[in-house]
Amino acid sequence: MPNSPAPPNRARRRGFNPSQDKGFGVNIASQTVLGGGQSQTAPSSLVDTLPSDDGALLGQIGPLQTRLVREPAELEAAQRLRFRVFGEEMGATFSQDAPVADRDEDRFDAVCDHLIVLDTTLPGEAPDQIVGTYRLLRDEVATRTGGFYSASEYAVDTLVARHEDKRFLELGRSCVMPDYRSKRTIELLWQGIWAYCLRHEIDVMTGCASFAGAQAEQHALPLSFLYHHARATGEWAVEAATGDAVCMDMMPVEAVDMKAALSALPPLIKGYLRLGAKFSGTAVLDRAFCTTDVLVILPVATISERYVRYYGADASRFAADAKTA
């Protein structure tokens, strides 16, 4: 995976002090699933000193709750959910070297924060109640632990270096159980992400989002729509970092049926678009996951004002103590 060093003194200019971060100096891999043995500590490592990152609730709608994982068993349950969605449902191919056959796991799991949604009406303990998950990786963590996941497909490090005064958050591995693919679950995931962004003063969200199938021509209409109407340009432009890339300019702008193109967008990409996101001008074929990926670039300052009002400028709309049903 490509990985470029961070610009000099970038962390210090942000007021970031490595000595105050709980995760630094800890051998994360030896304590989590990457070590191949029994996990001994919560994988949400490299977490800073904010108490909200210690598994506190970030949001609640009725019996559904969102927070970060608190213990290894919860991460393992999230990985099993990912395996069911990406592997069994979507046909992804996982590494033959994976230590456990029924979990989607990789080296990034040990250094990411893992947002989960739980249905507290389900029987059992918290690991049995996880119905949705999102993986979160902050740039100061990525810099010290091998880079971003999406750097294998896009020149994310170049993009980050171009905005050295901004804090980036990579979003990935988003999935929800089929019975919970509803407005409430998605809203709660976004509540958690928004609260997390505010607590960590995130300036830019990024990450890969996918179309089903590793054949870009099957998605010529929506990809062309994104290229002509939502492509990141100028200081936000990003290039592919692999030969498995395809230019999304597959149809002339006058041939793009806007209504049909919007209808053909996957729900996650459509959601990012509504928030105000821009996208790479090239798509990357992920043959292992059987997807056609695009990179999302979403500066927090450009998020549609109506969504900021909806979730609350302080993420209070679906906060755990808010009156929701």
pLDDT tens-place string over residues 276-285: 999 999 999 9
Q: What is the pLDDT of residue 323?
A: 53
Neighbouring C-beta atoms of residue 255, cutoff 10 Å: 11
For the entire predicted model, the pTM comes to: 0.83
The number of angstroms, rounded, from the C-alpha of 312 to the middle of its chain's C-alpha atoms is: 21
CB 172 within 8 A of CB 137: yes
What integer is the mean pLDDT of 220-243? 97
What integer is the mean pLDDT of 41-57? 50
Nearest-angstrom CA–CA distance, 256 and 160: 32
Which pLDDT tens digit goes with each residue over 83-140? Answer: 999 988 888 887 655 667 789 999 999 999 999 999 999 999 999 999 999 999 999 9
Which pLDDT tens digit goes with each residue over 120-133? Answer: 999 999 999 999 99
What integer is the mean pLDDT of 32-61? 51
Give phi and psi for 186, each to the nearest 5. -65, -40
DSSP state, 146? T
Q: What is the pLDDT of residue 101?
A: 79
Give the helix ranges, DSSP H, for 146-266.
156-162, 183-199, 220-229, 258-264
How does residue 203 score in pLDDT terms, banded at 50, 70 and 90?
very high
What is the dotted CATH code of the domain comprising 10-311?
3.40.630.30
What are the structural domain ranges in the chain?
A: 10-311
What integer is the mean pLDDT of 307-325? 81
Q: What does DSSP say about strands 64-68 and 113-119: parallel, antiparallel, or unpaired?
A: antiparallel
Which tokens in the block code for residue 212? Answer: 């089903």
What integer is the mean pLDDT of 286-315? 94
pLDDT(320) > 90: no
Nearest-angstrom CA–CA distance, 206 and 151: 11
Which tokens in the block code for residue 81? Answer: 């959910």
Q: How many helices (H) and strands (E) does the chain have?
A: 9, 10
Give the helix ranges, DSSP H, for 71-133.
72-82
Neighbouring C-beta atoms of residue 162, cutoff 10 Å: 15
Q: What is the pLDDT of residue 204?
A: 98
